Homo-oligomer: A and B are copies of this chain.
Amino acid sequence: MSERRVTMRDVAAASGVSQATVGFVLNNTPTQTISAPTRERVLRAAKELGYVVDGIARAMREGSSRIVVLNIDASLEGNYSRSYISGLDDELAKNDHILVVKHGHPTKQSTTQLQHMVAPRGVIDFAANYSSGRELADGGWTDGLAAHTAVQVGHLVDHGHTRLAMALPEDATRFARVRLEFARQAAERLDLPPLAPLVLPHPDAGGVEALREFLLEAPVTAIAGFNDEMALRVLKCAESLGLRVPEELAVIGYDATEYAALSSPGLTTVHIDADAHGRRSARAILGLDASDLVAAPALVVVRDSV
């Protein structure tokens, strides 16, 4: 049943060359010339025997495995991260690497453990990667977080709103703070009054009160959610307060989750296809050129809430 794994030695024996030659052919090593017939024989034998390189042995020799680790926090799960992961995974696969996802924010301990256990070729921290301005410096990647946030804010402004807020969760991550900052900058560029942060607890945990008090102090007409969940919280709380949406309060989400279509009123939100971004990250890790990859622009999915 469980046949022994096929090694380079088997391929070498089958094609009548040394094991080193097999290596040269299979990796087509540029420093080594191999005659066409030999190459042919080796390739054929490899295929016939069903030879597959042993990643572990290769990793041992090369010093690191062809694995890339992505650290992602649960709070960032959504449409964006899904398309990002999909692009990243696909691009890595194309280059003979594989993607592996670690959920939850990693501790120092788990990180070093991972480091020693799998010796990954690279580690991507999703939040850091997305929020950093590094993309801008990196050959014209202008469609990062700042641009996406600007699209969200811009949609509110296009509908006549000038006094805006952004709704954030109570345990705001660094990522949330970065988004808030970008939203502020976007508002400033459009000569609006300062954009206020609204820390909105869950509706079951004082969210309704929090929204009421916030609106008394800062009478905004539109609220941008940190993500769809926050926007939906606003919607729910607004309903409890008897506020009509969008007439009395406009709300826009971010990341176009499936749930945005299922509220009433339906939530207008921003859809971002991060496939290209994922591919770009892959190329960056592998040290390849990525200038042919262009990002799809952020798209506003218009529903009823603004």
Contact = CB atoms under 8 A, between A and B. Distances in A.
Interface of A: 52-57, 59-60, 65-67, 74, 77, 82, 85-86, 89, 93, 98, 100-104, 110, 112-114, 116-119, 202-204, 229, 232-233, 235-236, 239, 257-259, 261-264
Contacts of A259: 229, 232, 257, 259, 262
Given A93-B110, A98-B113, A235-B262, 17 more contacts: A52-B116, A55-B118, A56-B56, A86-B104, A89-B104, A98-B118, A100-B101, A100-B102, A100-B118, A101-B103, A118-B118, A232-B259, A236-B263, A239-B264, A259-B259, A262-B263, A264-B264
A258 B207 CA distance: 14
Given A229-B259, A236-B264, A264-B236, A118 B57 contact: no
A233 B262 contact: yes
Q: State the 9 A-B residue pairs at the shortest beta-carbon distance, nearest first.
A: A55-B117, A232-B262, A259-B259, A100-B100, A101-B101, A52-B116, A56-B59, A236-B262, A56-B60
A67 B66 CA distance: 15
Contacts of A67: 117-118
Number of copies: 2
Contacts of A258: 229
B57 A116 contact: no
A300 to B, nearest CB: 16
21 contacts: A55-B117, A56-B59, A56-B60, A56-B65, A56-B119, A66-B117, A67-B117, A74-B82, A77-B77, A82-B103, A89-B103, A89-B104, A98-B118, A101-B101, A101-B103, A202-B261, A203-B261, A204-B261, A236-B262, A259-B259, A263-B263
